[in-house]
Amino acid sequence: MAKGFGEASISNKKSSKSSSIMPAIDCEQIQKQWAEYFEDLTDPRGSQGVLHPFISIVMIALLATISGAKGWEDIETYGVSHEVWLSEFLALPFGIPSADTYRRLFESISAVSFERSFKNWLSSWIGDLGAQVIPIDEKTVKGSYDRNREQSALHLVSAWASENRLFLGQVKVEDKSNEITAIPALLELLDIAGCIITIDAMGTQAEIAHRIQAQGADYVLALKANHPTLHAQIKQWFETAQAQNFNGIEHSYDVRVESGHHRREKRQVTPVSIQQMGNLYKQAHWSGLQTVIKVVRTRHLWNKTTQEVMFYLSSLPPDAQQLGKATRQHWSIENQLHWVLDVTFGEDACHIRTGNAPENLALLKRWSINLLNQETSFKRSTRQKAKRASMDVRYLLTVLNASIPFNSNPSGS
Left, alpha or beta for 96 (phi > 0: left; psi -120 to 50: alpha)?
beta
Q: What is the pLDDT of residue 348?
A: 87
Domain edges within the chain: 7-109+375-408, 220-324
Spell 243-263 as b/e; 16+ CB within 10 A means b: eeeeeeeebbebeeeeeeeee
Residue-level pLDDT at 141:
85
Tell me the three state secondary structure of residue 270: strand
The predicted pLDDT at position 206 comes to 97
Distance CA 203, CA 222 (A): 8
Q: What is the pTM of this model?
A: 0.88
Residue 53, classed as helix, strand or coil, is coil
Residues 371, 166: Cα–Cα separation, whole Å: 9
Query: What is the pLDDT, as a whole number, of residue 149?
Result: 64
C-alpha to C-alpha distance for 219 and 215, rounded to whole angstroms: 11
Task: Using alpha carbons only, give the angle 186, 35, 377 rounded to the nearest 5 degrees.
Answer: 80
| Residue 170, φ and ψ in degrees, nearest 5 | -145, 155
Residue 166 Rama label (left phi>0; alpha psi -120 to 50; beta) = beta
Strand-strand pairing, 196-199 and 218-223: parallel
Contact 270, 294 (CB under 8 A): yes
Helix 382-391 and helix 393-402, axial crossing angle in degrees, nearest 10: 120
Mean pLDDT per block of 10 residues along the chain (413 residues) reads: 42 40 56 80 87 93 96 97 90 95 96 93 78 93 66 86 94 79 94 95 95 97 95 96 93 90 90 94 96 96 91 98 96 95 91 91 96 93 96 92 61 39
Give SS3 for 402.
helix
pLDDT reported for residue 11 = 41
Cβ-contact 318, 291 below 8 angstroms = yes
DSSP three-state, residue 327: helix
